[in-house]
Chains A and B, each alone.
Chain A
Amino acid sequence: MNLGLLEQYAEVAGGDVVDHLRQLAAPLAGARVLHVNSTKEGGGVAEILREMIPLTQALGLDARWEVITGDQAFYECTKSFHNALQGSREVISESRLHAYEETNIENAERLRTALAEADFVFIHDPQPAAMLSSIPERRGKWIWRCHIDVRRPHRPVWKYLRTWVAPYDASIFSLPEYAQPLPHPQYLIPPSIDPFNEKNCELPPEEVAAVRERFGLDAELPLVVQVSRFDRFKDPVGVIEAYRLVKTLTPLQLVLAGGGATDDPEGETVLEQVRRAAEGDPNIHVLLLPSDAHRTINALQRAADLIMQKSTREGFGLTVTEGMWKRKPVIGGDTGGIRLQVIDHYTGFLVRTPEGAALRTRFLLHRRDLLEEMGERAHRFVRENFLITRHLREQLTLMLALRYGSGDRIEVGG
């Protein structure tokens, strides 16, 4: 058993939390758990699995991670699925659907033994979802884990995918808004952050200072940071508007940090709008960072006085969790998963307008005592609710529930 790893988490999350995980895992000792997704590198799912697998193994389960492979037609098809599940009106040709089905059959064949013998199979997102029908001899429970915001899916595409997903034993969605009518239990498990990865680990003050210097930030001037891709639903222009409203009374600087240019044409347009809105103000820093700039983002969040996430539409909002973990209050849009994390007036403020964001920014910059108090509460709130240990606890609970019964109260171990 990898006790060292568990002890590290015990130091951050609490010894009782890790004890609880051990107790929950005990009846599942040796269980073969197989996670399947479509990429080993990049993206939130790979990141979660990279952290979750060793922890699960440390608890005595036989956890494995397999990645499916496919050709360009397959990935074009699954990219269309992804967009359609998020509401885009995608038309997917028969040939692409054929590529999707064939790729799933081929991968199921390649992984047949592992898939058939696993006690629990977690299939992540739509890419490998059709494999289940190729493994009629499966002996374990199959769970479809949907990481996508599917509150308003494009119906024809969902109807197609539903035929593959419906035969699963259970599915998992991140928020209740995402759950869809399906003939099996739909579990709700919000995402989490890992306190030890590059995005969230403690950084030496010199590293934070170096990042400040690299981007020409003034250490003496209050700093507000929003980290998110340049997307209109993240309202970066609204954040600049809020900054300008604050600036007339309280000097400050703003960082808008986001990922690099994507294949999303709208992203380019929004970035252009943001650059225009920021033009001529040396205290607005629009930073286009590579997708692996995790330590830089970490340092920027740590350098900030407060974090902004003024989205008008949001999934869960892990950048909010990350900011809160760094003991920063968050001024967040009153939407989606931000509401689960920002408890108005306690861990930050929920706002609907640039004016609201400006008002709360001014308040916090003038009430340093409350800013620090809120930051401490925010950190505690994340520690108790949104760390990977909680995520793992819910995953173990789900496995126990699926193995030991389907009632409201499930006795484990007689």
Chain B
Amino acid sequence: MENCGRPAHDVTPFAARDCALISLATGITAENLRELRDGLMRAPESSLYHHFWGRLLRPHFDEPEYLNDFASWVHHSLREKALAERMSLIDPTDYSDMEDVRHELVELIEQRLDESESVPWAKVDQRFYFIRAQLVLFDTGLRVEHPAELSALLPRFSTSSLYYHFIDARRRNQSHCDDFCSWLGAYGDQFSDLTQRLAGLDPYFSSLHETRHRVAEIFAERFGPPDEEWDDVNGPGRPEIQP
């Protein structure tokens, strides 16, 4: 689906996919800053994914203070606010892969350990647990022919489908573009206003419900509101989705 900025004559329909995340224990834990560094060095890549991105698909509150679990733990359990702020600024889409993200996190911690005369510890019951994620991906069978049609469908996307296309895509696609922008890019400049607005939407401080609402709103402002509301799961206006 990667087409960022590339015009195309025959645009392939948008294939709506969905996903579900499940968490697994890694057995790696940390009670202090040095152990967090060591854990970061050996945690699987899927664990970094979980603590940066996967948090959006698991229980979390809509207004998080920090953008990843490492920063949050460093602040709340180690009381290292300055380090937490630095760690929170790491945006994985700025890095070519998760190994670079890992390296940057370790560097920041090393720097703090060098500055400090003691190693900050968490209370016994505030240990950090490295968790990894498995993402199950599937095709919903839904194909969208035109952006206006997508506009009508977005309010009914599942939050996990929204996650897959709007958030996971930034990591998955080499261009760090979300799937909607990639697809719109295939129309050349026709929808550049829309792609610019979508690219300016920061999804990391909102719940997926809120992000879905905002993405749908941006589409609705461009194409007009959807014709009809679907009143229930199998209501009259609901399109046929073949799994």
Same complex origin of A and B:
yes
Whether the Cβ atoms of B20 and A177 lie closer than 8 Å is: no
Annotate A316-346 by CB proximity to B: 1 below 8 A, 0 otherwise: 0000000000000000000110001101001
CB–CB B22/A394 < 8 A: yes
Residue positions of A touching B, CB distance < 8 A: 3, 6-7, 10, 15-20, 22-24, 26-27, 173, 176-177, 179, 181, 185-190, 335-336, 340-341, 343, 346-347, 381, 384-386, 393-394, 396-398, 400-401, 404, 407-413
Give every chain B residue within 8 A of A16 (Cβ-Cβ): 156-159
Chain A hits for B140, CB < 8 A: 23
Q: Does B63 contact A (CB under 8 A)?
A: yes
Select one of B20, B61, B232 contacting A381, CB under 8 A: B61
Chain A neighbourhood of B133, CB < 8 A: 408
| Cα(A1)–Cα(B192), bound, Å | 45
Total chain B interface residues with beta-carbon distance under 8 A: 43
Query: Which A-B residue pairs are the 9 nearest by beta carbons?
Result: A179-B25, A176-B129, A385-B59, A26-B243, A408-B46, A397-B20, A15-B233, A186-B25, A188-B23
| Min distance, Cβ A377 to any Cβ of chain B, angstroms | 8
Q: Which of B21, B27, B136 contacts A412 (CB 8 A)?
A: B136
**Is B95 interfacial (CB 8 A cutoff)?**
no
Chain B residues positioned under 8 Å from A7 (CB to CB):
232-233
Contact, CB under 8 Å: A20 / B137 = no
A7 to B232, CA, bound (A): 8
Shortest C-beta distance, B144 to chain A (Å), equals 16
Q: Which of A24, A179, A385, A407 contacts B138 (CB 8 A)?
A: A24
**CB contact list, B40-93 vs A, under 8 A:** 44-46, 49, 58-59, 61, 63
Q: How many residue-residue contacts, CB under 8 A, span A and B?
A: 119
A19 CA to B209 CA, complexed, in Å = 15
Is the beta-carbon distance between B138 and A27 smaller than 8 angstroms? Answer: yes
Q: Is B223 an interface residue (CB 8 A)?
A: no
B23 to chain A, nearest CB (A): 4
Q: Which of A176, A181, A410 contacts B134 (CB 8 A)?
A: A410
| Contact assessment for A185 and B61 in the assembled complex, using a CB-CB cutoff below 8 Å | no
Given A20-B18, A384-B209, the answer on whether A176 and B131 have CB atoms closer than 8 Å is yes
Assembled-state Cα–Cα distance A401/B46 (Å)? 15
| Interchain CB contact under 8 A, A398 and B137 | no
Q: B201: which A residues are within 8 A, CB to CB?
A: none
6 pairs from A and B in contact (CB 8 Å cutoff): A17-B158, A179-B25, A400-B136, A404-B136, A408-B46, A408-B134
Query: Which residues of B lie under 8 Å from residue A410 when comparing CB positions?
Result: 134-137
Partner of A186, one of B24, B49, B230, B241: B24
In the complex where A176-B129, A410-B137, A413-B138 touch, is A20 in contact with B160 (Cβ < 8 A)? yes
Q: CA A18 – CA B230 in complex, angstroms?
A: 14
Q: A173 vs B233: C-alpha distance in the bound complex, in angstroms?
A: 32
Given A22-B243, A24-B20, A188-B24, 10 more pairs with CB closer than 8 A: A17-B158, A188-B23, A188-B131, A336-B125, A381-B59, A381-B61, A384-B207, A386-B59, A400-B136, A412-B137
Closest chain-A Cβ to B38's Cβ sits at a distance in Å of 18
Chain A residues near B63: list those with CB within 8 A.
346
Do the beta carbons of A335 and B25 come within 8 Å of each other? Answer: no
